[in-house]
Amino acid sequence: MANLEQLLEQHFGYSTFRPGQKEVIEAIIEKRDVVALLPTGMGKSLCYQLPGYVFNRPVLIISPLLSLMQDQVEQLKRFGEKRVIALNSFLQMSEKRNVLQHLGQYRFIFTSPEMLKNSQVQAAFRQAQFALVVVDEAHCISQWGFDFRPDYLKITDWMDAVNRPPILALSATATEAVVKDIKAYLHMSQPFEYIHSVDRVNLHYDVVQLEKPIEKAPWILAHVLKTHGPGIVYTQSRKKTAIYTERLLSNGIRAAAYHAGMEAEDRQFIQQQFLAGQLEWICATNAFGMGVHKDNVRQIIHDHIPSTVANYMQEVGRAGRDGQDALSILLYVQKDEDMTKFIITEDIPQERHVEQYLEYTGREENPAVMLDMHQISETGFRVLSYWMQRLAPQEVQQKLVDIRLSKVSQVDEMKTMVTAQKCIREQLLHYFGQSLNEKPNQCCHYCGIEYGVILKEREHLETLGYMPSWGERLSVLLPNI
């Protein structure tokens, strides 16, 4: 077997491994299942890219986003790899057929969990004998599988019959409960686990309690005007991304909105501008962030309570990847959590949906009638179908109740972290089943922090000379909200 350091140098031009990479790669080469939790920006993808050059069978990577697949394909191509393809809905029928017929000629194949449903894909994959299957951003199994993208729970369904390839689950942030879900749904037994510390000493966590929701926008504007970015404002609705953006723009701050209702092209453009430093602030929903590799983000502002501590961790974790100080601020008004709870439970199917589903199946009608009659959302219907196909109706009722309770209690955990009057860093680590080694000087709201120590003050001339054109301001307000 080739020396790993040689392969690293030869294919990627690095001379040494980062922490964790070598252990993970060795376990993969020994054909073990692996769960690897590595910090973002610490070369997670190398953990499957390098083994791709050790094996002579293809590596399959399951990725949550089309844009992420695209990025990774491009990255590999930049390293000179040509035998790489993204198998997704961007391909024409004929291209797809062609790729499936010649799977063996690729070294890296990227695809989505939904693609695995396709029977042609399944047939081709059974033939392919992958050397390794990678589940990238594996926390999605737990975060999205139960109530949003059930195909995340079915990844191993098509594999068990055949000679199941080893699986590598990759993530930056997963709690013990999430790791448990990952292992269960990927049918892993005795995987090798590499888990890094989630503590980020250069991140400083502030909480700002306000009296009324209406105070949030002026607070954010005033704060942005006296500090500096780059930064991300996370908000709860698409509409608010536009409102905040307009406020910042009209005060001379280069900002843009970002949410899932925008055209893919616009989203990509805005992300690129942010990466290139042409935008200082992004006002976004939780659609923004996955796959955004910008190392000098200095601030994250939440205008609301995120739906889970894990989401909070991921979102604040997008700051300070360069190791320099970064500030995270969460604005809180009493009862903010009610809105969060409403949003995350709204789509979960209700008791009556289970009854309706049965009714339509009983009459030998397709239960999808429910969709036509607008009695359930598309997401809700897919989730309901998943559980109805696997559990008895009574169990489905119970499952839906459990999902609801679990979602609500996760919001409560987040609220507790914000309001418990205890060190936020310690609470975060505790949530991930870890403990604190050393508390940094500037720690969190409850230990005491000063913005002036963490951030430099804004130099007024630097940005106030900039005024956006009407076109730019309109384009913020008008995109299909």
Nearer to DNA, 213 or 440 (CB): 213
Tell me: does residue 173 bind DNA (CB under 7 A): no
Binding to DNA (CB under 7 A) within 250-279 occurs at 259-261
Q: Binding residues for DNA, how many (CB under 7 A)?
A: 45
In the chain, the amino acid numbered 20 is G
In the chain, the amino acid numbered 91 is L
Tell me: does residue 14 bind DNA (CB under 7 A): no
* Shortest CB 204 distance to DNA, Å: 26
Residue 428 backbone phi and psi in degrees, to 5:
-60, -50
CB 403 within 8 A of CB 423: no
Nearer to DNA, 403 or 447 (CB): 403
* Shortest CB 387 distance to DNA, Å: 15
* Shortest CB 432 distance to DNA, Å: 20
**C-alpha dist (Å) from residue 309 to 101, 139, 282, 409:** 44, 13, 22, 11
CB 111 within 8 A of CB 86: yes
Nearer to DNA, 14 or 144 (CB): 144
For DNA, the binding residue among 201, 210, 339, 436 (CB under 7 A) is 339
Query: Per-residue x/- mask for DNA, residues 138 to 167, rule CB under 7 A?
Result: -----xx--xxx------------------
Tell me: does residue 345 bind DNA (CB under 7 A): yes
* Shortest CB 80 distance to DNA, Å: 26
* Shortest CB 468 distance to DNA, Å: 21
Query: Per-residue x/- mask for DNA, residues 213 to 252, rule CB under 7 A?
Result: xx---------------------xxxx-------------
In the chain, the amino acid numbered 102 is H
* Shortest CB 209 distance to DNA, Å: 14
How, if at all, do strands 132-135 and 231-234 pair?
A: unpaired
Query: Per-residue x/- mask for DNA, residues 314 to 333, rule CB under 7 A?
Result: -------------------x
For DNA, the binding residue among 78, 82, 212, 374 (CB under 7 A) is 212
Binding to DNA (CB under 7 A) within 25-64 occurs at 64
Binding to DNA (CB under 7 A) within 278-317 occurs at 285-287, 307
Tokens encoding 413? 């955990």
- How is 412-446 classified by DSSP, letter by letter? HHHHHHHHS-S-HHHHHHHHTT---S---SS-BTT
* Shortest CB 121 distance to DNA, Å: 8
| Closest CA relative to residue 282, chosen from 331, 306, 318 | 318
For DNA, the binding residue among 9, 346, 359, 457 (CB under 7 A) is 346
Nearer to DNA, 72 or 442 (CB): 72
Distance CA 354, CA 340 (A): 25
In the chain, the amino acid numbered 396 is V
CB 433 within 8 A of CB 176: yes
* Shortest CB 409 distance to DNA, Å: 15
Nearer to DNA, 123 or 467 (CB): 123
Beta strand residue intervals within 237-372, DSSP E: 255-258, 281-284, 299-302, 326-333
**C-alpha dist (Å) from residue 433 to 196, 253, 309, 426:** 12, 40, 13, 10
Nearer to DNA, 4 or 103 (CB): 103
Binding to DNA (CB under 7 A) within 87-126 occurs at 88-90, 111-112, 114-115, 118
178 Cβ contact partners less than 8 Å away, ≥ 6 residues apart: 139, 141, 142, 143, 171, 310
Residues in the chain: 481
End-to-end CA distance of the chain: 55
For DNA, the binding residue among 322, 347, 413, 472 (CB under 7 A) is 347
For DNA, the binding residue among 45, 67, 75, 250 (CB under 7 A) is 67
Dihedral angle at the C-alpha atoms of 432, 438, 442, 445, nearest 10 degrees?
A: 40
Q: Which residues bind DNA (CB under 7 A)?
A: 64-67, 88-90, 111-112, 114-115, 118, 143-144, 147-149, 212-214, 236-239, 259-261, 285-287, 307, 333, 335, 338-339, 342-347, 378-379, 382, 481
